[in-house]
Structure 1
Amino acid sequence: MRFFSAVLGLCALLAQGPAHAELPTDPLSWLGRISSAGQRLNYVGTFVYQSGGHVETSRIAHRVDVNGEHERLEVLDGSPREIIRRGNEVHCVLPDERTVIIDEAGGRRAFPARLPASLSGLAESYRIRKGEVSRVAGYEAQALVLEPKDDLRYGHTLWAEMQSGLLLKSRMIDENGGLIEQFSFSDVRIGGEVDEELLASRFEPGEGWRVVNARGSGMAADDAGWVLAEALPGYSLTSVMQRPLGRERGQAVHMVFSDGLAAISVFIEPVGDGSAIGLGPVSNGAINIYKRTVDGHLVTTLGEAPERAVRRIGDNIRSVAQ
């Protein structure tokens, strides 16, 4: 009888779980934890992306050391794709096309580092509240709900691991509560060492491979030659860059407008052969795209935002020379 009493007592203690450090009570502090955790922690895991009928599984390994962030993301379904990050440089490896695209890590990151470093202004566009605590990938996770205050952005629910703050699951929904896209870890190890072999590319680009340098150069907004004639509520210009279009095609102006969570990109390039094809709105999964021609230029606007928001920015891009 004493044995069973001792076992029951031990089970009761285990059910209580380990002692937790002081956790934040306000949702904005939780968002801050999510933002920093995705960039400062070591983790290795597998996550599933879902959008409509499309489901895709990826494996990610992330390590932080004195040289900055190191990350390898491999898509496990369909055509092989791999993204390797070393500090601020990103290599997108496409083995079937025998192509490597080199770019720089921008402000908007991939899952689970979905939130930007700066969260100022989010409360102006979203009602933010804590949801319930539930289990995701074997961890206790705090849900954070972001409800848009207008129809110019989507709603989000984020699930953060209780102790580390790492984002374990994120869901984007439309104004009717319908699922637009979802990322969710199926398994993940948080902390500990991440071996170099987990971060190394398993492909060896060599002879016959094409290397595309897509890195842009930052420029002052006043030098872009293009402006947003009518501001979109909650969105502000966060970056302006020039990006190479390829041999003899010149440069494109790349502008990014963000509310701190949603981001809408605008690419402006000279009209070329066939560039007038496909003008107007189109969607690709969670991304809405809108194209129009302005003053001899093709303006392509795209982002994970409602079509009305993407179209309003696209329709209000003006040349300073006009």
Structure 2
Amino acid sequence: MIKVVLAALVTCIALTALPAGAQVAPTGQQAATQETAAQETENSDGQRWFNLMSKALNELNFEASFVHVQGDRIEPYRWVHGIDKQGRQYEWLMQMNGPGFRALRIDNVVSHFHPASTSYSLRSRSISTMIPTAFNQSFEQISDNYRAVAVGGARILDRKAQHIRLISKDNQRYGFSLWLDRDNGMPLKMLMVNHDGEVLEQLQLTSLTLRDVAADTIAELSRVDRPPMLEELQSQQSPLLKQQPRWAPAGFNLLKAQHHRLVLEGTPVDHYLFSDGLAEYSVYISDQTVSSSGKAISVTGPHTLHSQPAGQLMVTVVGQIPLAVAKQVASSVQ
């Protein structure tokens, strides 16, 4: 008992002897608690900024231009969004170089206009050609697989921007860096990066104009003749082969499963499309007796490609996933 009292007395004297303004160093447990609290604040701020971006993409009337970069390929686009008096959303995306790909979204119907091939419409809440579908939704939709971390500010397009990172929780998908306008949440710059921090794809706004009311362009878009729905153009045929992908990374859901012929080669394939909201990948399964190649191929980049034989079949995985994950998906087809 005397030892305990003496120990307490020594501690009291030591604390009293500290100079004015001095702080006691936190214990290991206290430091860990403080670090956890700081991380939770960063995550909370990241989610708040992400949701502000989603709100901006759904509610603001704007006209913008941006460049999309994949490797050596640089493409400029024009991007318009507005809301009419009935509350319907109009979104217009137009490629400024080349043949002139265009896409038009009116609420939940997106029309793709291809000058060199068949145009079609499909049901979707976003034009996911450049902007991932998840960006138009709340962060809760992807929170099981990604963390959103606020990591500082920057100056983008002569605007104050907030930098947030979307980090994979399981390393089975790529990460993203976003720079959002601090005044309204509009995305000004986007990078998709691999596990080594290498930039695979980027999008940078070069101009942005916000309007109090929908631009006159919105009225013109309402009069555009839209192509028929995709299901009306293609006969929907279920997969014919018994084999199918038996494994998918956590969070990736099957969006489509069908049998059709590849546009360029005419090869009949079973096609499976998966998405986690931010990234997509496709699995193509074909009979090697009618396939043009039976060799394994692997190509990394913004869109990973991995092809390998599986018995009498050829399995090809293409999408925005790491090569190791693509190989595991392909190997699940038995």
Q: 1:53 to 1:59 in 2, by over 3 A?
A: same
Higher percent of residues as helix: 2
Secondary structure of the residue that 1:317 maps to in structure 2?
coil
Name the counterpart of 2:205.
Answer: 185
Alpha-carbon distance in 2 for matches of 1:309, 1:36: 32
Aligned 8 A contact 1:90 1:103 in 2: yes
Alpha-carbon distance in 1 for matches of 2:125, 2:214: 26
Alpha-carbon distance in 1 for matches of 2:215, 2:93: 14
Say which of 147, 150, 172 aligns to 1:130.
150
| Amino acid in the other structure paired with 1:193 | A
CA deviations 1:277-321 (Å, max 9, x no partner) are: 6753234x5111223455765543221121111221122134xxx
1:229 maps to 2:250 = no
Matches within 5 A, 1:203-218: none
Name the counterpart of 2:83.
Answer: 64
Name the counterpart of 2:120.
Answer: 102
Aligned 8 A contact 1:216 1:241 in 2: no
CA deviations 1:248-290 (Å, max 9, x no partner) are: 98784433142x433323244566744436753234x511122
Alpha-carbon distance in 2 for matches of 1:307, 1:85: 32
**Structure 1 segments unaligned to the other structure (5+ residues):** 1-23
Secondary structure of the residue that 1:100 maps to in structure 2?
coil
1:169 maps to 2:184 = no
Alpha-carbon distance in 1 for matches of 2:279, 2:198: 17
Name the counterpart of 1:45.
Answer: 64
Q: How many residue pairs are counted as aligned between the two chains? A: 283
1:196 maps to 2:224 = no
Deviation at 1:120, TM superposition (A): 3.5
Say which of 278, 297, 302 aligns to 1:280.
297
Aligned 8 A contact 1:89 1:103 in 2: yes
1:264 maps to 2:294 = no
Q: 1:195 to 1:252 in 2, by over 3 A?
A: farther
Aligned 8 A contact 1:34 1:115 in 2: no
Secondary structure of the residue that 1:313 maps to in structure 2?
helix
Aligned 8 A contact 2:294 2:314 in 1: no
Q: 1:122 to 1:224 in 2, by over 3 A?
A: farther
Q: 1:86 to 1:123 in 2, by over 3 A?
A: closer
Deviation at 1:170, TM superposition (A): 0.7
Higher percent of residues as strand: 1
Which range moves more in the overlay, 285-294 or 162-171?
A: 285-294
Name the counterpart of 1:11.
Answer: none
Say which of 29, 44, 60 aligns to 2:48.
29
CA deviations 1:60-117 (Å, max 9, x no partner) are: 112233373322211112332222333433333333x2x3331414477244455252
TM-score between the two structures when normalised by the length of structure 1: 0.70
| Amino acid in the other structure paired with 1:255 | L
C-alpha RMSD of the superposition: 4.0
CA deviations 1:100-147 (Å, max 9, x no partner) are: 331414477244455252534744444431022223223322111123
**Structure 2 segments unaligned to the other structure (5+ residues):** 1-42
Aligned 8 A contact 1:61 1:199 in 2: no
Aligned 8 A contact 1:218 1:240 in 2: no
Alpha-carbon distance in 2 for matches of 1:217, 1:35: 33
Aligned 8 A contact 2:66 2:206 in 1: yes
Q: With CA pairs under 8 Å and 6+ residues apart, which has the higher RCO, 1 or 2?
A: 1
Aligned 8 A contact 1:180 1:286 in 2: yes
| Amino acid in the other structure paired with 2:113 | V
Q: 1:278 to 1:138 in 2, by over 3 A?
A: farther
Name the counterpart of 1:316.
Answer: 332
1:289 maps to 2:305 = yes
Alpha-carbon distance in 2 for matches of 1:226, 1:119: 35
Alpha-carbon distance in 2 for matches of 1:87, 1:243: 29
Alpha-carbon distance in 2 for matches of 1:49, 1:271: 36
Alpha-carbon distance in 1 for matches of 2:326, 2:244: 15
